[in-house]
A and B are shown apart, each in its own frame.
Chain A
């Protein structure tokens, strides 16, 4: 059963890491793994979001469903989400999703008493669990905290009131986008750019400048000293082929050779704030592992052999 191992050891190199932003390189693997990671980050990393709203009083201009929808889309801090239960699998509450293991309760009570428009925002939501609260987007460096009021839910005029109870539950982005922790997850193949120096030298400075400017992004530049074209930022290249077309138009095909490296990816991950971008990546890897475990469990069983026959054996490396 022991075959040649095709296992590769992917490497990750973190380039930039902020609370809600991460940029890293993923090397020594292929597009399927990179894409699996991306898909899991978007759709399968769990977070907590408001799922049930009971409205007691709503005399605002927006109707109940409207407000419920807006509440659902407010990101909540979800560090707890991985260890929390889905309310559908919760034993403690028979799946009605109202127990402390699978849900968090929120209250909102606002009434406008002045002639000024009152903004009801995510900061007015009171959580029963201090670890699950609406994400605070305010810049910690900013001194003026009165300016920052969180995500606006509705605006009230004098005499209007909003009173409601909301239940937040664990969920995944596949079910509803409100549970997706990812604002942006994208990757690109790392480009490898080779400038044909000999051919480049046949160009005049003006032609070089023209060629450099033909790229919509600043990939190349001219060294002010040596007047040589050099690659400033290879990752700014967006595979638009503009420079290659330009080179052909100038009668110098092969001036530059650009290859997308098939085994290195540059990931950009932006989080909604529900979980930290770094945690998002780690959780995604964890979930990916769990999914693979599910596959491995079934490979031992006899049914797999019956079901897949030769294919099953092949899958096990036979």
Chain B
């Protein structure tokens, strides 16, 4: 028989006149409610990952399509009805609409899913992939966003859930309002997709599920009977739930049913849950029979030889995917050695509980937990290689490192995701010591010679575009050959004869990069050929470069945009070396800006001749507790001295995926270093030995995309806002720096009244007004009579002149326009 179906809310739907399944469903629900009232333990946890479903693109698009399809049919019906009402029915009728195309395009380009039919209204459902760094792109693709708003002040959904073990990364979450709500998938997580239900339901009946139709209510809840619930639908009951679950698992391992079907026996609720729906998170585990792993040595050898792949392991029933619910029926050993006879599964590797981004951190299990979270946020801002095709791309903004390196201290995750091939950082020799006083508050001191040799050097590529607009009157913009004798010739030196800047040219500020002209009149239709307008009908619309100078044109692309206009795109490249204030970070959430750059001869040196690339202040360690960074330094130092990349995978000491400090120290000692990684150092300034041994070695440093050059800003006089005549705001508009309320409070407290007067009026918006001392209203200055006149008294007898902030004058007038009359009373006029 038909197993019945359900609505999207998962509630049993009525099949014809048969209300019985729905009755039973409601009754079971009530049973569960009463159970929960009597016993708080029986309460469901809504934050439990097993109760969550991820929405994938397929489901969302199908929903959108359904909505659009229904809209289209009604629209076509309306059109047809209208057509049929008209007298000339025989006219050919085009009933094609592009509702579906337009709707899909609009939804996908804006990311706003507004589906009234399903009461769905969500923003940001489609996002443009972050391409600023390779790791940023990877992180973006593993991101899981919540559907409810972020403003709610509840701690439950934000807290770390034990059930997210292995499924969602415990480290990678943003700080601030989305903390704990936006998550990232762990390394081996798989998200299921919908699977056909029909065959699975009939299989359940074959395996001994007693049909609900044939059972009385009393029979349904006998102590030995377990309800069988399939995708939230009650199928019936089974007397031997464990045998039933074992049978389904056997079928799954043999590949007879889909590998993502899950069975889970809930002893407490006397239920067997089967799930084949989409959006569940699951992960692979090694199957163990009575604690003995099914994967044997020869399997691994075949894998190493390349004869066997991951899918073969799955097909042969050596591995299986478990979802969060089914994990509750499994006893999973962390390592093969820990397995007992009860063990059913063995973890593949403990480091896979972390995601792609947290996997880059060496020794994360030695760090204070928030530090790993900080690094997850910063790793996405690191400059390096974006992709193999990075130099052929036309991104609007691209940050590249000139000499990216692979980290000396790697992890298995780094190798798996390919970060060792597309790195975003450099191995810097770091000395942990205080130097020069320019290293307080996490600032770092950099070696000038290292910078000269290319450390931290980066390329910033920016895209500028110019469109040759076609206007409504058939005229169009044009590009002119530069006039080499005109006054603007100096700014046109980089132009080719086609009026477009040539690749390889070095730009100066205000250089023209496309010598474009636009017709003055773009409205009135032109008689005759629009191409033959006289030169006087055009005005210059040349685009000039606003930058720092020293940028180079990398590439020029000619293409047409979606309105078939010619579009010229310029990729402009700027090579920068690190300067004071550029931001750097290690892989342990320890960011810092460059505090000073020091000559190499002033830098400390060891008797081996080693001179650090940068100096980090030791105060960065005690409160941050980033022990992982110290181990990275040790491991890196051992790595360079013995010529082997060392590993620092999370929790990897036991399985050999992370080198132990003891082993590292032994390597160091055998290469003539101190076991603790400290060196005897001489001051480069005096030549005397330093009093302390200095912890020195290589640490992988990332250059972050925040650079002073893009941020520094100051202004003397400059542009003002039209309405208030106050200076503009923001760097992009060459704005002023605001003396805000708090700054003002300080000045008041200090009694610096003249300073306040200057900052708030003279340097901002001073304005001379004519005030009538008789009526207290503002007058105006009559330039003919050369006197001030009060427009309400109609004379100039009692006018006095004073200075006021323009904003104040504006407010007085705005109030007047609202029938409120502010009057000024002048004390000594």
The total of chain B residues at the interface (CB under 8 A) is: 40
Most buried by A among B573, B599, B607: B607
A242 CA to B669 CA in the complex, in Å?
Answer: 11
Q: Quick one: which of B402, B504, B600, B682 contacts A42, CB cutoff 8 A?
A: B600
By beta carbon, the residue of chain A nearest B450 is A177
Q: Quick one: which of B391, B450, B600 contacts A61, CB cutoff 8 A?
A: B391
CB of A211 within 8 Å of the partner chain: no
Rounded to whole Å, the gap between the CB of B720 and the closest CB of chain A is 39
By beta carbon, the residue of chain B nearest A235 is B607
CB of B453 within 8 Å of the partner chain: yes
A238 CA to B668 CA in the complex, in Å?
Answer: 14
Q: Quick one: which of B552, B609, B678, B687 contacts A268, CB cutoff 8 A?
A: B609
Q: A58-B504, A66-B402 are in contact. Are A35 and B449 (CB under 8 A)?
A: no
A34 CA to B687 CA in the complex, in Å?
Answer: 7
CB of A31 within 8 Å of the partner chain: yes
Find chain B residues with CB under 8 A from A38 CB. Answer: 601, 687
A215-240 CB mask vs B (1 if < 8 Å, else 0) is 01100000000000000000010111
Q: A43-B599, A238-B672, A242-B674 are in contact. Are A184 and B684 (CB under 8 A)?
A: no
By beta carbon, the residue of chain A nearest B688 is A31
Q: A63-B459, A216-B673 are in contact. Are A35 and B687 (CB under 8 A)?
A: yes
CB of B351 within 8 Å of the partner chain: no
CB of A283 within 8 Å of the partner chain: no
| B688 A186 Cβ-Cβ under 8 A | no
By beta carbon, the residue of chain A nearest B670 is A216
Find chain B residues with CB under 8 A from A34 CB. Answer: 687
Find chain B residues with CB under 8 A from A73 CB. Answer: 453-454
Interface residues of B in 688-712 (CB under 8 A from A): 688-689, 693
Tell me the number of A-to-B contacts counted with CB atoms below 8 Å: 97
CB of B734 within 8 Å of the partner chain: no
Rounded to whole Å, the gap between the CB of B555 and the closest CB of chain A is 10
Rounded to whole Å, the gap between the CB of B502 and the closest CB of chain A is 13
A311 CA to B682 CA in the complex, in Å?
Answer: 31
Rounded to whole Å, the gap between the CB of A205 and the closest CB of chain B is 22
CB of B448 within 8 Å of the partner chain: yes
| A186 B601 Cβ-Cβ under 8 A | no
A236 CA to B687 CA in the complex, in Å?
Answer: 19
Find chain A residues with CB under 8 A from B688 CB. Answer: 31
A146-158 CB mask vs B (1 if < 8 Å, else 0) is 0000000000000
CB of B554 within 8 Å of the partner chain: yes
| B449 A186 Cβ-Cβ under 8 A | no
A217 CA to B453 CA in the complex, in Å?
Answer: 32
| B459 A186 Cβ-Cβ under 8 A | no
A88 CA to B556 CA in the complex, in Å?
Answer: 37
| B459 A216 Cβ-Cβ under 8 A | no
CB of B438 within 8 Å of the partner chain: no
Find chain A residues with CB under 8 A from B674 CB. Answer: 216, 238, 240, 242
CB of A173 within 8 Å of the partner chain: yes
Interface residues of B in 499-552 (CB under 8 A from A): 504, 552
Find chain B residues with CB under 8 A from A177 CB. Answer: 448-450, 452-453, 600
7 intermolecular pairs with C-beta atoms under 8 Å apart: A31-B687, A43-B599, A66-B575, A73-B453, A240-B693, A260-B689, A270-B609
Q: Can you name 17 extra interface pairs (CB under 8 A) apart from A31-B686, A69-B402, A188-B607?
A: A34-B687, A38-B687, A43-B601, A64-B504, A65-B552, A65-B573, A173-B449, A174-B599, A177-B449, A177-B600, A178-B453, A180-B600, A186-B607, A217-B672, A238-B672, A242-B674, A268-B609
Residues of A bordering B, CB below 8 Å: 31-32, 34-36, 38-39, 42-43, 55, 58, 61, 63-66, 69, 73, 173-174, 176-178, 180, 184-189, 216-217, 236, 238-240, 242, 260, 268, 270
